[in-house]
Structure 1
């Protein structure tokens, strides 16, 4: 039985390389082609999403698909309102760089996904850390994002939105919490480096690692 388990769980060198390639070349995509995502590809992404670990196996997520242009335009208008407020937080060079970071991909992407945390029955594991329910939803988003890369699908996570406004627009129940708003589609190009690094917003920093405790 142990040998069988090792055969099942072991990855070949090529498979391991493919996993790391997907992780390390994943990008936040902002510009999309209009080509629709085939349903069989989308189903595989949903399988990856739903396979994510969740605290107490609660699976505390729900997805709303947005395909209609009219709804996308209303979400884009909400984004523009939030962007105007956020822009005022920056001055000088930071504001000029901010102005170059456009999100018209909201109108280009053939599919939007609004990902909600839904209420779940009492379960184990989240009473001392209730935020693990939200973390579980984010892990599912990460699964989908990673699976999208080898499919050639780009994902953009739009956080310049007021969650409550989007939830009202989509008719979400009051106890559903919007945690992620994603644009999906085939990208116009795959950037070699993250967009924010290329734009000069920030550079990747070394990983903070400590042994046993903080110094």
Structure 2
């Protein structure tokens, strides 16, 4: 059997999937369909990786105590971040909802295993950071697969990586790349939430392409 043919209808739907992939912070309490979650993780595992190293390690965080520890890390980082702005901007920052840690039914931490032997180091001798970039690619594949199944994903970056790593008690060679909140969105919007709430102006520049 030959490769599939992606017709115009499929390409239209694919463009819509990219457009509607949003960073979700407001989740319903409904449990996530386990079959959907595992299908999204399977999509993540199909991501490209440097030297076929597949360094991603996903941790599902279900323990209430560990979740509370992650939420405390977010609270510390969030308060510190607000202090970096002038008073007017800081007030605007504090009004933003920047995580769905309390509401999201599923928490996933995505790590990069720096000690993975898979791939035998191929392709990363001069750019070792590509190992972590590979995990980012897996996160994006997971995200798109989730969106296609009606799930929302929120990437929480306002965290202390060392603290989260300790809370989750993972091997010391694992490096935190992303902490994801996953669940069914309360609301659906085509525009980014930060634009909708006035944090930044709408950016219509698109992708920058420079020729040399």
Name the TM tier (shorter chain). Answer: over 0.9
The 5-angstrom pairing of residues 116-195 of structure 1 reads 116-118=111-113, 119-121=115-117, 122-195=120-193
**Runs of at least 4 residues of structure 1 off by over 6 A?**
none
Across the aligned residues of Structure 1 and Structure 2, the Cα RMSD in angstroms comes to: 1.4
Report the CA distance between 1:113 and its aligned residue.
0.3
Distance 2:98 2:192 in 1: 15
Report the CA distance between 1:181 and its aligned residue.
0.2
Report the CA distance between 1:59 and its aligned residue.
0.1
Cα offsets for 1:135-191 (capped at 9, x unmatched): 100000000111111101000000000000000000011111000000000010112
Counterpart secondary structure, 1:120: coil
Aligned partner of 1:71 in structure 2 is 66
Aligned partner of 2:7 in structure 1 is 12
Q: TM-score, normalised by structure 1?
A: 0.91
CA contact (8 A) 1:97 1:199 kept: no
Report the CA distance between 1:202 and its aligned residue.
1.9
- What stretches of structure 2 of length at least 5 have no aligned partner? none
CA contact (8 A) 2:99 2:156 kept: no
Q: TM-score, normalised by structure 2?
A: 0.93
Aligned partner of 2:16 in structure 1 is 21
- Number of matched residues? 207
- What stretches of structure 1 of length at least 5 have no aligned partner? none
